[in-house]
């Protein structure tokens, strides 16, 4: 029997849903959180920097949504379970989770240390795994959930000076497929968004170099760098009933970067 779904824009309505976003204090995480709040979700904002969370809360509240903040370092496994417990304690449910917290170090592959590797993989891969695990436990009990992980162009293309980051994001893509396969029968969908070259606080210094910026933009058919707001449509889609039959996928929001062979 085919499922009965709402029609039109109602499919994207997140009213009544509780959405958690890690790395929500700035950059991609903050903009995705605002997109979900704008679609009607009440929010849980997670970040390790309290001052950034305070500003983000104000913007969510202006959209008329309830908001809980959790200060957490997701490089520590216990913090993943704690953020979900605090969410359930406040709202009684967790419907949507966007795991956007991430770190990066750029330098030649030969210069990375074991400490660098452990730091990047600890947050970007190990941290995301245990976030998914904690979020999934809550969603499996209620038999409805949407988990959205953040992959990267680095999982598909050999971008220079970011070998551990590329390894971490390729790992996120792979484990997302496994979670999706294991949880699909319970109506818990797990997908990735792969942002393209985005202008964020993390990349601002790199793209301030006009030669670097021109070289990257020259490879993007869309003719510009991405902005965090460009992810709004993809995150709302993957969080909503519109994507009910979509799981284990990666949607690249990259202006066409990966399809340009030049």
Looking at residue 74, its pLDDT comes to: 96
Cα 65 to Cα 157: distance, rounded to the nearest angstrom: 38
Cα 142 to Cα 144: distance, rounded to the nearest angstrom: 6
3-state helix, strand, coil in the chain (%, to 5): 50, 15, 35
Average pLDDT, the chain: 96
Catalytic residue of the set 119, 165, 252, 257:
165
- The architecture that CATH gives domain 10-256 is 3-Layer(aba) Sandwich (3.40)
Cα 62 to Cα 7: distance, rounded to the nearest angstrom: 28
Could you report the per-residue pLDDT of 210-221, keeping only the tens digit for each?
999 999 999 999
Could you report the per-residue pLDDT of 166-218, keeping only the tens digit for each?
999 999 999 999 999 999 999 999 999 999 999 998 899 999 999 999 999 99
Q: What angle do CA 233, 67, 176 make, to 5 degrees?
A: 50
Extents of the domains making up the chain = 10-256
Could you report the per-residue pLDDT of 95-134, keeping only the tens digit for each?
999 999 999 999 999 999 999 999 999 999 999 999 999 9
The Cα-based distances of 48 to 36, 72, 199, 235, 258 in angstroms read 21, 5, 21, 22, 32
- Categorize the per-residue pLDDT at 8 as very low, low, confident or very high, splitting at 50, 70 and 90: confident
Task: Tell me the whole-structure pTM to 2 decimals.
Answer: 0.96
Q: Has 119 been annotated as catalytic?
A: no
- Categorize the per-residue pLDDT at 1 as very low, low, confident or very high, splitting at 50, 70 and 90: very low
- Number of helices and strands in the chain (H, E): 9, 7
Looking at residue 92, its pLDDT comes to: 98
Looking at residue 3, its pLDDT comes to: 56
List all residues 6 or more positions away from 207 whose beta carbon is below 8 Å from its beta carbon.
197, 199, 213, 216, 225
List all residues 6 or more positions away from 34 whose beta carbon is below 8 Å from its beta carbon.
56, 59, 60, 63, 232
Cα 220 to Cα 113: distance, rounded to the nearest angstrom: 32
Looking at residue 212, its pLDDT comes to: 95
Cα 41 to Cα 103: distance, rounded to the nearest angstrom: 26
Three-class secondary structure of residue 118 per DSSP? helix
Looking at residue 9, its pLDDT comes to: 83
Looking at residue 201, its pLDDT comes to: 85
Q: Are 238 and 145 in contact (CB under 8 A)?
A: no
Q: Are 36 and 19 in contact (CB under 8 A)?
A: yes
Could you report the per-residue pLDDT of 79-91, keeping only the tens digit for each?
999 999 999 999 9
List all residues 6 or more positions away from 82 whose beta carbon is below 8 Å from its beta carbon.
70, 72
Could you report the per-residue pLDDT of 33-70, keeping only the tens digit for each?
999 999 999 999 999 999 999 999 999 999 999 999 99
Three-class secondary structure of residue 254 per DSSP? coil
- Categorize the per-residue pLDDT at 6 as very low, low, confident or very high, splitting at 50, 70 and 90: low
Burial class (CB in 10 A: 0-12, 13-18, 19+), 131: buried
């Amino acid at each position: 029997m085919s499922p009965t779904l709402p029609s039109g824009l109602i499919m994207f309505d997140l009213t009544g849903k509780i959405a958690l976003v890690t790395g929500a204090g700035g950059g991609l995480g903050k903009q995705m959180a605002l997109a979900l709040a704008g679609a009607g979700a009440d929010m849980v904002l997670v970040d390790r920097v309290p001052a950034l969370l305070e500003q983000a809360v104000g913007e969510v509240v202006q959209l008329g949504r309830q908001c809980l903040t959790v200060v957490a370092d997701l490089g520590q496994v216990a913090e993943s379970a704690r953020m979900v417990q605090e969410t359930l304690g406040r709202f009684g449910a967790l419907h949507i989770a966007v795991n956007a917290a991430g770190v990066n170090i750029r330098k030649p592959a030969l210069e990375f240390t074991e400490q660098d590797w452990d730091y990047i993989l600890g947050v970007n891969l190990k941290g995301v795994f245990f976030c998914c695990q904690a979020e999934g436990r809550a969603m499996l009990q209620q038999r409805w959930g949407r988990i959205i992980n953040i992959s990267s162009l680095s999982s598909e293309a050999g971008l220079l000076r970011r070998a551990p980051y590329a390894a971490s994001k390729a790992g996120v893509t792979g484990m997302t497929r496994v979670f999706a396969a294991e949880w699909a029968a319970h109506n818990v969908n797990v997908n990735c968004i792969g942002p393209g070259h985005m202008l964020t606080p993390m990349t601002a210094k790199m793209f301030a170099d006009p030669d670097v910026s021109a070289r990257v933009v020259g490879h993007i058919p869309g003719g510009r760098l991405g902005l965090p707001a460009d992810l709004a449509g993809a995150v709302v889609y993957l969080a909503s009933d519109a994507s009910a039959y979509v799981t284990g996928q990666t949607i690249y929001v990259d202006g066409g970067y990966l399809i340009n062979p030049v």
